[in-house]
Copies of this chain bind each other. A is one copy, B any other.
Amino acid sequence: MLTIGIDLGGTSLRVGIFDSDMAVLESHTVRTRVEDGPDAVIEDMAMCVRKLLAGPERTTNVLGIGVGSPGPLHLQDGKLGQLPNFPGWDGFPLRDSLSAATHLPVFLEKDANAAAVAEWKKGAGSTADLDSLAMITLGTGVGTGLILNGQVWHGMVGMGGELGHVSLDRQGPLCGCGARGCLEQYASANGLLRIAREHAESAAASDGLKRLVGKAEGFTPRDVAALADAGDAAALDCFRELGGFLGFGLAGFINVLDLPLIVIGGGVASAWHLFQAAMFEAIRDNSIVYRLGEPSQRDSLEKDRTFIRPAELGPSAGLLGAALLPCLHSVSIDSDGLVSA
């Protein structure tokens, strides 16, 4: 049994076909033609799917297509909500359009939930028999995927799990969502750049950080990390601030849900060694629930402890998670004895 995953991003569209062990057999990446409108992008998706199905040994049945899409989504009718990077696509019936174009069942999820499914089944959560976890993706913004009691959690408006927009400081920097001091203002790529700029303005900032921030061609989170890795005190402070706010946000999250596993992914998570100490300190200081259940041995997942770990799958989590969606669905149907996957 084969399964197809589609990772719909604002820049690129990735489509891959996976075997029953979830090994990728073939994948294609094309530019997302956002400006040409949703029908053009559906055509691209269908073209990629046709190519994948024409490959060798693709004669067995295909379970379906899973799509990870930016949110918010109207999941009940498979339509897009108001996606910030897809102007004019509001209300587009992605699920039914793609299904009509490919003659395959389509399963739609928020991209952050697809990534969480991948880490759950094949990544940081796969060594234990967990039925709940969260995946926090520290990318350009902050994404949150939630698995509760073995099911992807959607909330009422398809936006359940927006930890990135939990405000941590009512006097903090203004966020695009309208609130101030959201986690995303500190613990994302953009948040780190903002912190670095703010620190560079301080008289005590190192020359290295001032030079970096002042560069005419701009700078990246990777540049700040390189500076910190070289021992620059001001750059190290930037990551400590990021870790402190991330930990403070996670502390509240742990107090509310007390999950067995929180996976931290996304590009910023590659600086784990630079922010993890400040993150764990803030979690311990602010979460009585974490302290009660603090893991004694950090290297073995247990069901009665809250573990916080870096993601294992990297940027491929989105595509793999999307491809897992048809399997999840067929398993849940399975338990009612209706369909066998």
Contacts and interface: CB of A to CB of B under 8 A. Distances in A.
A256 B289 contact: no
- Interface range on chain A: under 10, 10 to 19, 20 to 34, or 35 or more? 35 or more
Contacts of A251: 166-167, 179
Copies in the complex: 2
B303 A161 contact: no
A204 B160 CA distance: 42
A303 B154 CA distance: 12
Interface in A249-268: 251-253, 255-260
Contacts of A257: 153, 155, 160-161, 256-257
Contacts of A305: 156
Interface string A283-299: 00111110111000000
A106 to B, nearest CB: 21
Contacts of A292: 72, 81, 157, 159
Interface string A141-176: 000100011010111110111110111011000000
Contacts of A166: 251-252, 255-256
Interface of A: prevailing SS: loop
B155 A289 contact: yes
Contacts of A167: 248, 251-252, 286
Interface string A76-92: 10000100000000000
B256 A256 contact: yes
A252 B303 CA distance: 26
A178 interface: yes
B156 A303 contact: yes
A251 to B, nearest CB: 7
A38 to B, nearest CB: 21
Contacts of A72: 292
Contact of A255 (B162, B258, B287): B162
Given A162-B258, A163-B255, A163-B256, 7 more contacts: A72-B292, A148-B153, A162-B288, A165-B255, A179-B251, A253-B256, A256-B257
